[in-house]
Amino acid sequence: MHRVRILAAALMIAGVASTTYGATALSHRTKVAQLGPLALSARTRRHIDWPLWVGAGMIVAGGFLWVARGRRR
């Protein structure tokens, strides 16, 4: 497969995943305190909500790249 087709497939897969799940969770560890060799840390989670139009745009862009690459030959 050509690079453009791989990019198009990746965009379409990411678009379907984005519209299906709609959110991404990110976690981050921060050091709270350290007493000698003992360290305490806390994990914070943050949710990022993806709008529906972002996923739809990725699907459309991937489909456009897929079709445009096929017509160019």
**pLDDT < 50 positions in the chain:** none
Consecutive H or E run containing 42? strand 38-49
What per-residue confidence (pLDDT) applies to 29?
86
pLDDT for res 68: 86
Model pLDDT, residue 72: 59
The pLDDT value recorded for residue 63 is 93
pLDDT score, position 18: 86
Question: Can you give the pLDDT at residue 60?
Answer: 94
Spatial neighbors of 48 by CB under 8 A, at least 6 apart, are: 23, 24, 25, 26
Residue-wise pLDDT tens digits, 25-39: 888 888 888 888 888
